[in-house]
Structure formats: structure tokens, C-alpha cells
Amino acid sequence: MRKHPGLAALTSFVLVALSVTTLGACSVQTTATTPTTSGVVDGNAGRPAPEIGDLDLYDVSDLVKAARDGVVSVTQERVLLTFTGVPEEVPAGAGTGIVVDDDLILTNYHVIEGASKVIVTGRDGEPRDATVVAESSGRDMALLSLEDTSGLEPLPLGSVDDVEVGDPVIAIGNALDLDTSEPTVSAGIVSAKDRTIRTRNGTMQHLIQTDAAINPGNSGGPLLDASGRVIGMSTAIAGNAQNIGFAISVDVAEGFIERYRLGIGEPFLGVQMIDNSQAAADRFGLATSTGALVVDVVAGSSADTAGIQQWDVIVKIDDTPIETADGAVDAILGSIPGDLVEMELVRGRDRLQIEVTIGERPTGT
């Protein structure tokens, strides 16, 4: 069945860091309710009350307890001017973090974006100042360093390769910033793997889709498998759907962490790309309808220096054929800054062979 051409445009994906300012504009009240028997027919009348064990409920309480010291809340403050013109630090957002090493916290970039101060809070409720030591806005990841790590325990990392669609998962996070020391837990399944979505920050690849409830404040929190291992980091929800959330694969996050440990920056070519198509090939007179079509080149970048131009099509990087923009991104991310790679380009009806020295992504881009 053909997809409606306008369907993709109807889906908006929302990054799920919490705006504290927005939360403060409304009050959330929870009211305890007492069930009543008025007008209700009791189909179990005369039967013994079932034991919890008889119901075979999905009990994740032990898993949550084991993971609790590896999950923290992450809040940020920004410097704003008061009406008298005096600078003042004010709360500006909230999210979650995953303890991945003795002094490292993994979270989303959009959780700490624009912060003048980042604060981490664990189970003990004590706020700790954190330092941003690595960031990738394009892949929505950041690493925080702490001096005081008392009471925090790194969570074990799993792999997406070890889970299948339909497997149970648990999401833990600082939902709605309700309580920085006691995060919210939700359960669901792996709905899909290797998803690609587009957010306001760009394209995100290799995501896990889940129906475990993810809400504002969950950003940066762990998605755990049934063994309590981190398989993903909550990052976005579909804004016009129900229970469609996305998590960055732990395999992608591990690469980001390893680069930091090795002191290697993120590779950066300096182009914006889309999938080539027959329509684009016809419009620009291209010799191919596949590959990654370059729609913009960053001035002064590696691509610019190597002579890559707008409307060039990248069809090969080293020995890897490129059929889509995502394929080109994967190939570039597989390199390190300073690598010399060979590229095959289609420019109009011509094919070109060029060499490009991969650069390092500038901070904040």
C-alpha cells in the first residue's frame, strides 16, 4: 500500500526536556479517590480474593530498586535580567541523567542547552553542581562530570542487538519535575528498532521506539531491558500521537562516551543532505536518482575546503556505496577527525573523485 505523500508532514516529534517556566504556569493536583460499590455489580461475589501471585502481574519493583542509584535528575538555570536590569539565575528546565561511570552522567543535549548552571540530584535529594564536558547537539547527547559522586552507582549497559520488538522495557525519569529525588517509572515494550525521525534539532537515527510512557522531564533517562541494563536514553515523543516515544540507542551513546574518554571530537563534514530522488535528478539534471544530495555547505568546513558544492550527490565514501543521506551520515560518523576519506560525487552528468579531511564538529553545532 502506498503511503500518502503528505503523511510524514503531519507527524511532529517533540524533544522531552521540561520547561520549568511552562510547568509553573499551571498547577497539577492529584486527588485520591475511593472506589464505591454503588450501582456496581460484583461478579466475584462469594469468591475468595485473588492472591497477587495468582494474577501473574509484571513486577518490576526489584529492577527499579537495583537501578535507582544510577538515575539522577538534571536541572538547569539560566542568567536572566530582572525588570531592574540585575542578572539573576533562574530555573529554566529539567530532565534526567544516567550514571555511566564513576564521575560521568549521560543526558540529552537539549536538557542542558543554553544553561549557565547545571544541577544533578540523586536519591539523597542533595543538589550537586555538574560540568558539561562533552556535547553533540546533532545527536542530542551530552556528558556531565561531578566532583561529588557519593551514593551514585553506574548502570550496566546492554545492547540493542540483544532485544527484540515486543520485549518488555522500563523507562525511568524526572517526569514533570514532580520530585527530583524520586523519579517516575513506566513500563512498556520495544515497539520498533532503528527508527529515524526529524526534530527541530535535525535528523535522529537508530532510535528505539517504545510505548512506555515518556513525558516532559524524561529526557536523558534510561530505557531498561528486563535485566536492568540500559538499552536506550529517552529523547522524544510524537507530539500528535499516543504512547509513541523514542530513545537513543545505547550503542550510539557508547560511541559518544568512548570518543570523550579517548579525547576524540565528533567528526564533521560540514554539509546538509537529503535523500536524492528521481524528482531531484530531473530538476538538477543529475546522472543518478540515489545517493545523498547536498543542499547546503558550511563555509570554511572540510566539505567547503575539498570543493563539495550545493546539489552535488555523494554516492560513495571510501569503499561504502551511499544510497541515502542516512547512509552518508553513518559513514561520516564512523570516521574520526583528521581522517582522509575518498568520496565519489555526481555533479550534473559528471562523476568526480575527491579526497576530504574530516573535521571536528564545532561546539554547539
Q: What is the pLDDT of residues 215-226, one digit of tens each?
A: 999 999 999 999
Q: Lowest mean pLDDT: which of 66-70, 129-133, 236-240? A: 236-240
Q: Identify any residues that bridge with 8 across adjacent strands, giving them in sequence order.
A: none
For the cut 60, the answer to whether the pLDDT of residue 175 exceeds it is yes
User: Who has greater pLDDT, 48 or 28?
Assistant: 48
Q: How many CB atoms lie within 10 A of CB 315?
A: 20
Catalytic residue, chosen from 137, 140, 177, 191, is: 140
Q: Is 365 within a domain? A: no
CB 130 within 8 A of CB 74: yes
Q: Is 58 within a domain? A: no
Q: Is 19 within a domain? A: no
Give the pLDDT mean for 185-197: 94
Angstrom CA distances, 127 to 39, 76, 142, 146, 310, stand at 50, 11, 19, 11, 48
Q: Is 275 a known active-site residue?
A: no
Number of domains in the chain: 3
Q: What is the pLDDT of residues 262-313, one digit of tens each?
A: 898 889 999 999 999 999 999 999 999 999 999 999 999 999 999 999 999 9
| CA dihedral sign, ordered 38, 41, 44, 47 | positive
Name the residue with cell 576519506: 341
Catalytic residue, chosen from 137, 219, 234, 301, is: 219
275 plus 254 within the same structural domain: no
277 plus 316 within the same structural domain: yes
First to last CA, the chain: 39
Give the pLDDT mean for 227-248: 91
Q: Is 56 a known active-site residue?
A: no
Q: What CATH number is associated with residue 240?
A: 2.40.10.10
Q: Identify any residues that bridge with 357 across adjacent strands, giving them in sequence order.
A: 340
Q: Is 10 within a domain? A: no
166 plus 141 within the same structural domain: no
78 plus 112 within the same structural domain: yes
The residue segments making up the domain with residue 208 are 160-262
Q: Which of 81, 111, 146 lies at the terminal end of a domain, its last residue? A: 146
Reported pTM: 0.76
Q: Which of 146, 180, 196 lies at the terminal end of a domain, its last residue? A: 146
3-state SS assignment for residue 261: helix
Q: Is 120 within a domain? A: yes
Q: Is 199 within a domain? A: yes
Q: Which of 118, 146, 174 lies at the terminal end of a domain, its last residue? A: 146
179 plus 256 within the same structural domain: yes
232 plus 165 within the same structural domain: yes
Ramachandran quadrant class, 210 (left: phi over 0; alpha: psi -120 to 50; beta: rest): beta
Q: Is 26 within a domain? A: no
Catalytic residue, chosen from 110, 191, 249, 312, is: 110
CB 155 within 8 A of CB 230: yes
Q: Is 114 within a domain? A: yes
Give the pLDDT mean for 122-132: 93
- DSSP-derived secondary structure letter, 157: B
The residues, ordered by sequence, that sit 6+ positions from 203 with a Cβ below 8 Å of its Cβ are 196, 197, 325, 326, 329
Q: Is 206 a known active-site residue?
A: no
Q: What CATH number is associated with residue 352?
A: 2.30.42.10
- Reading the block at residue 282, the C-alpha cell is 530531473
- Reading the block at residue 71, the C-alpha cell is 538515575
- Reading the block at residue 185, the C-alpha cell is 517509572
H or E element at residue 233: strand 230-238
Distance, in Å, from the CA atom of 347 to the CA atom of 108, rounded to the nearest integer, reads 37
